[in-house]
Amino acid sequence: MATTASLKKDIKQALAVADYDRVAQLALENRKVFTILISLSFNKDDLGSWRAIEAMGVAAGRVTREQDTTMVRNAIRRIIWSAREESGGMGWSAPELLGEIVRSTPQPYSDLPTILLSFHEEDEEGIFRRGVLWALGRMAEAGVNDVEGSRQLLLASLEDGDPRTRGMAAWAAVRLGYREAASGLKTLRDDQNRFRVYEDGELLEKTVGQSAAAALQVLART
């Protein structure tokens, strides 16, 4: 079996070219893959960290389908622990990691959306809140929508004082399709503040107004 160092190197090489199937294959062979992906996910200014987050979902889905949920459940416990104060509170990507697991295979992990939503409740800096919003948007793409409390969070986040949170809320609104968000989105159409979001395998910079306009277009078609 590969050493942890060589396994981490293999994973980083796969992430560099967005080869998530390779990461998933490694996860089938070695349970350390999930631990390594968690460790690589913390720097949200780094594209590689976001790809580690996306790879977590792909790998979790493959392991769940071809083996069982045991290894993934162990990873979930580590993710949740990483976000708790007693762990040192370094698990800033916990909502995104959990969201990607749900997005990949919703049914076996139907308990997770309400858990990840709860992360924003004790978050004074907004880091978890933005992660929760991103996760809600990603899960909605897979048909996991209307998580209890998500509407209230989205509406409040559209009025947040931090433009990064407003932007992420507008980005999520495109995917969630909550009609009651329209009035809040209209107030953001001219908001030129910029935020960064991971989308389609890349870390992109958008304006809050661009995302608000995109969400309003979606709502107009529903």
Span 11-46, pLDDT tens digits: 999 999 999 999 999 999 999 999 999 999 999 999
Domain ranges (residues) in the chain: 1-148, 155-222
Cα–Cα distances in Å, from 134 out to 2, 4, 95, 103, 130?
A: 34, 30, 8, 12, 6
Angle, helices 4-16 vs 20-29, to 10°: value is 160
79-116: burial string, b at 16+ Cβ within 10 Å, e else? bbebbeeeeeeebbbbbbbbbbbbbbbbebbeebbebb
pLDDT > 80? residue 89: no
Summarize pLDDT for 55-69 with one digit per residue, the tens: 999 999 999 999 999
pLDDT at 162: 96
Summarize pLDDT for 159-212 with one digit per residue, the tens: 999 999 999 999 999 999 999 999 999 999 999 999 999 999 999 999 999 999
pLDDT at 81: 92
Q: Which of 42, 35, 111 lies closest to 75, judged by CA? A: 35
Token pair, residue 168, equals 């992420």
What is the DSSP secondary structure assignment for residue 17, as one 8-state letter?
A: T
Reported pTM: 0.95
Summarize pLDDT for 112-141 with one digit per residue, the tens: 999 999 998 866 677 899 999 999 999 999
The answer to whether 76 and 98 are in contact (CB under 8 A) is: yes
Band of pLDDT at residue 222, cut at 50, 70 and 90: confident
